[in-house]
Structure 1
């Protein structure tokens, strides 16, 4: 009997716990090739140079892949990492190893799903399986078709927050071996990272999950979640969630155990509330596909904003007339991270105070954030720009009032040098600047 050879394409699921797609592949084939492609996952989604990722993003991913490779080695497997696109490397492996089955975790990103469909059309004789691992619910479990996803989070929450959620899958105990195939890892360029807040990888994710719920922080989360700096004001699960080192179901299981032993309150519910917000944007990306990156978003008319290069550069560098925004942007550039409150304020500033095309802001965050997630990032930017899932339209924050509430003594601004800026926003008349494509 011929041996069944399969291929598993890792994407944003860099773990061996609660990975149903990987478990399915391991159970159905005799030999398995595990591969990760470093090429940018959504090149047309952004307006930046695709390879220009921040050192923090690169370093976190590098750590996560190294950790996954070690976990696979412990199971007699190996992880192959390549700079090639899946559309280039997978055909080579199909020919070389007579691959009959290809697996992956379902992706929220439109362009990832497009590439997957291209492979399916190109190889109709191969069995393809894409399995949900990045959400709390499977689409088939929802009380509505994905085409009828509610147009606001509040409507979605009312329909879903009481639904039962499956328990996470156990850690893989064994895997089929890899065939005799060797693809050397790309030589990593030296990455210099200062102000390292997060270490990548499933092991660090599990350690953080355990440490967070061993503390009492979950019981005060709702009161502290709008903090600006530090590791304790919010859960800080997002970098590992974004890279798939940790699943939403794993978090929810430990949250429920915490509530059982230490008591449930508004704060513990609010952690679930935030997981539902993330869930909504994952489904939002599935539902709206390419529109996630459209200037007009879900609306019929385009925003009354444009692209002014000098203003955008000053926003990126934290050199605007708004000290709180400057402080957040300098924090982001230095650490690869920013609080949720900060993300709202800098986005509001870019769109409403500076009059800039929101997609350039979303693209810059894609480049910088260590917890970049295509659905949450682009969905939230649409929300702030008034072209997404918000029936009330634009979300404009009073930056002076926000500063008084969240940094009343100016400590955060002072630490990050937010009050050091060029008093002149525009050095030339805006009419002289080119208008970007929309």
Structure 2
């Protein structure tokens, strides 16, 4: 028998029905259920860095994920209400209108997202709250340390996890629930809110299509192929679809769970064999996992100029340099090509991200936070923990025990674009060979 007359499931970084045990719990405990996604208006407005938190490429991909989720919910007798307003305002109205007795939401690595959840609990203590780690491999209770004692670098984290073989303790991904409780909302209201969303251009043949349907199809195709067997050798390619797993965008918004990937990886190893490359996929999943808990452990320090250190890097902010970096108009051809690829597609390879981040911090001497904020705006696979944690790592203020990592851009170009094909395709033949047209105060240099 259901425990609650009306419940609310607040979707965030878990835009899927399959392998979502928290949604299954809500279905079992509620007579009626409201499924909600909230898009804060400020995500589409300029932030403290003069950038938007949600650029056009990210918004296009997110809309695809939301539409796919809506279709899956409709197939199970449900519907997704998408609102554009402050989450606390949205929830206050729904609580008062529908008498909500229980709220379900995924644990989130974002500091501000957790603040919303904390304030909600304080304002409405009479409501039953249910939360679960749906965005990570491990539940906090499975970790071999308290979160306050999170290792200060990834290598220590990995050794601890692998010393007790935590991988073997992760349950297989769960199938989707067949049915869900009906919604108390009128279909006309839900449709009206969908129609009020900002329009975005649909690109039918784009390789990145949002939603768990596209995600699961890609997972099946990838692990049915031989690509995982050579992943370690090919993963650093700058521009090749099959060279790396390409799971990141679906992982970021939760259309795909990390457990679904691990289940598919394990099946692939059983069928085609395990080797260094298939291990390296697990290694990369652990790298992502580490930064999720890193964000949980360090909160707003994730966004601090000095990161976890006592002193920030010796950088400043030069508006003209930053603009050149963003547009791919620097004296560094491989950086220009990577940035133009990002601006066109919303994606950049992991190797490319390291190169452009190193360029911004070392060659351009810019505040790393502006680079992280630009990635937040542009990347369709933006994940708050992975993005800001990795930028701290490259800037020498985070989890890297070696400090500043500076990449030799010429050497990297010879190694990863030896024929110059990547630069020829994505590069800017009109790029400036001069770093500064203006001084630090933005005055023209004569």
TM-score by length of 1: 0.95
Paired position in structure 2 for 1:211? 221
Paired position in structure 1 for 2:88? 87
Write the distance in 2 (CA, Å) between the matches of 1:367 and 1:228.
Answer: 21
8 Å Cα contact 2:4-2:29 kept in structure 1: no
Superposed CA offset, 1:120-147 (max 9, x none):
0000111111111010001111110000
Paired position in structure 2 for 1:436? none
8 Å Cα contact 2:14-2:253 kept in structure 1: yes
- Structure 2: gaps of 5 or more residues: none
Write the distance in 1 (CA, Å) between the matches of 2:84 and 2:314.
Answer: 39
8 Å Cα contact 1:105-1:132 kept in structure 2: yes
Write the distance in 2 (CA, Å) between the matches of 1:177 and 1:301.
Answer: 54
Superposed CA offset, 1:343-373 (max 9, x none):
0000000000000000000000000001000
Deviation, structure 1 residue 40: 6.0
Paired position in structure 1 for 2:10? 9
8 Å Cα contact 1:81-1:186 kept in structure 2: no
Distance change in 2, residues 1:188/1:94 (3 Å): closer
8 Å Cα contact 1:40-1:50 kept in structure 2: no
8 Å Cα contact 2:51-2:373 kept in structure 1: no
Q: CA-atom RMSD, angstroms?
A: 1.9
Paired position in structure 1 for 2:71? 70
Write the distance in 2 (CA, Å) between the matches of 1:113 and 1:150.
Answer: 22
8 Å Cα contact 1:325-1:418 kept in structure 2: no
Write the distance in 2 (CA, Å) between the matches of 1:271 and 1:139.
Answer: 22
Instruction: Identify the match of residue 409 of structure 1 among 413, 419, 431.
Output: 419
Matches within 5 A, 1:313-332: 313-332=323-342
Instruction: Identify the match of residue 173 of structure 2 among 168, 172, 178.
Output: 168
Deviation, structure 1 residue 187: 2.6
Paired position in structure 1 for 2:230? 220
TM-score by length of 2: 0.93
Distance change in 2, residues 1:235/1:393 (3 Å): same
| Helix, strand or coil at the partner of 2:290 | helix
Paired position in structure 2 for 1:189? 198
Write the distance in 1 (CA, Å) between the matches of 2:434 and 2:356.
Answer: 19
Instruction: Identify the match of residue 179 of structure 1 among 184, 191, 199.
Output: 184
Paired position in structure 2 for 1:229? 239
Distance change in 2, residues 1:49/1:27 (3 Å): farther
8 Å Cα contact 2:216-2:256 kept in structure 1: yes
Paired position in structure 2 for 1:152? 153
Paired position in structure 2 for 1:312? 322
Deviation, structure 1 residue 20: 1.5
| Helix, strand or coil at the partner of 1:232 | helix
Write the distance in 2 (CA, Å) between the matches of 1:44 and 1:152.
Answer: 34
Distance change in 2, residues 1:128/1:49 (3 Å): farther
| Helix, strand or coil at the partner of 2:171 | coil
Write the distance in 1 (CA, Å) between the matches of 2:50 and 2:104.
Answer: 29
Distance change in 2, residues 1:39/1:291 (3 Å): same
8 Å Cα contact 1:110-1:289 kept in structure 2: yes
| Helix, strand or coil at the partner of 2:76 | coil
Superposed CA offset, 1:151-185 (max 9, x none):
01000000113212122222112211111343422
Structure 1 residue 381 corresponds to structure 2 residue 391: yes
Length, aligned pairs only? 433
| Helix, strand or coil at the partner of 1:130 | strand
Deviation, structure 1 residue 197: 2.9
Write the distance in 2 (CA, Å) between the matches of 1:51 and 1:27.
Answer: 39
Moved more, 167-176 or 60-69: 167-176
8 Å Cα contact 1:41-1:112 kept in structure 2: no
